[in-house]
Amino acid sequence: MTQGEILKAILALGGCGESLEETADLLLQRFGSLGAVMDAPPAMLAAFGVNESAAVLLRLLPEVARYEAKEGIRPRTAVHDAEDMARLFCQVCHGCRKEELWLMCLDENLRLLSLEQVAGGTVSAIPVVNRDIIGRVLACGAHYVAMAHTHPGGLAEASDMDCVVTRELSRCLDALSVPLLEHFVIAGDTYQPILLFHTPQDFYGQVDPESFYSTELRQKARLHMAPAADGEDAGVPDAGADAVNRRL
């Protein structure tokens, strides 16, 4: 289906009966793409003759597809390595248009206890409250955790602040004896494991890198770390004192 056909079908289902074709064409022309139309606030769409019900449906349908994809992940799913984790995160983050932070809690045998979105942000930033994350980890009795946040822009590359926040959280979780196994940056179907790519090896001592990461990932990480190999903690700025609320 083309973007126009999808848009017309959604508008029809939403009860936007009058001059459907004209409205759809006008919307695509004005906003440039179906994605942008779906992201537009209902009040803005109303100016083009889209009723509230159809405007809500435009925003609802992609979320329904994501909800259904998340439902497909069964509790107690075994997570063997970093690739398994990344695959699950990519599945639930697929199609997101804003930054989102996801938390995966695992039992002592690395089986899935919960996988939930813990924060939502804007197109370029997301607020992270360590206390909330710790609260959820404790509530589900996790033995291990993994995290992921999305870069809707399509670039799976951790920022300096991503690394700072990861390190802080990892320290907090270590103190609670709930190791953070990995924190992924997800962009579409691509991902970057922050602990592997941006921290010295002794920092991610909770897992055996040989079995947890594929050879390909470890090679990529070595290449990525190479320019900054001489300095300890290279590329990862120190955490400031005001480290409770940060934006990834």
Partner 1 sequence: MDNSTNCRLGHRARVRGQFLREGIAQWDAYRVLELLLFYCIPRRDVKPLAHQLIQTFGSLGGVLQASPEALHDVSGLGDYAAGRLCAILPLARAALEATPVQRYDTSTRVGALLRSLYRERRANGQQEDTLLLLFDSSLSLLGIKSLTRGGITAQGFQPRLLTELAYERSAAAVLVSRYSTSPILVPTAEELAVLREIHILFNTVGLDFLDYVLINGDNYAFVAHKMVDTLTLHQKKERLIYDDAGGDPEGNPGARRMR
Least Å distance, CB 212 to partner 1, is 28
Q: Give the contact letters, 115-154, x = binds to partner 1 (CB under 8 A), - = no.
A: -xx--x-xxxx-------------------------xxxx
Nearer to partner 1, 26 or 172 (CB): 26
Least Å distance, CB 217 to partner 1, is 21
- With CB under 8 A as the contact rule, the residue among 83, 91, 95, 239 that binds partner 1 is 95
15 binds partner 1 (CB under 8 A): yes
- With CB under 8 A as the contact rule, the residue among 94, 143, 171, 218 that binds partner 1 is 94
Least Å distance, CB 192 to partner 1, is 13
Cβ neighbours of residue 179 closer than 8 Å, sequence gap 6 or more: 144, 145, 170, 173, 206, 207
Please report, as residue ranges, which positions from 183 to 242 form the binding site for partner 1 (by CB under 8 A): 187
71 binds partner 1 (CB under 8 A): yes
Q: Which stretch binds partner 1 (CB under 8 A): 1-9, 171-179, 196-204, 229-237?
A: 1-9
35 binds partner 1 (CB under 8 A): yes
- Token couple for 141: 């009795």
- With CB under 8 A as the contact rule, the residue among 17, 36, 176, 223 that binds partner 1 is 36
In 9-97, at which residue ranges do the beta strands (DSSP E only) sit? none
Q: Are 203 and 195 in contact (CB under 8 A)?
A: yes
- Contacts with partner 1 by CB under 8 A: the residue count is 56
Displacement of CA 14 from its chain's centroid (Å)? 29
- With CB under 8 A as the contact rule, the residue among 19, 33, 77, 214 that binds partner 1 is 33
Q: Are 191 and 185 in contact (CB under 8 A)?
A: yes
Q: Are 199 and 226 in contact (CB under 8 A)?
A: no
Residue 150 CA to residue 154 CA, distance in Å, equals 9
Cβ neighbours of residue 246 closer than 8 Å, sequence gap 6 or more: 127, 128, 161, 164, 165, 168
In the chain the first and final C-alpha atoms are separated, in Å, by: 35
The answer to whether the Cα torsion of 78, 133, 125, 3 is positive or negative is positive
- Token couple for 139: 């509530």
Instruction: By CB under 8 A, name the binding residues for partner 1.
Output: 1, 3, 6, 9-10, 13-15, 31-36, 38-40, 42, 44, 52-53, 56-68, 71-72, 94-95, 97-98, 116-117, 120, 122-125, 151-155, 157, 159-160, 187
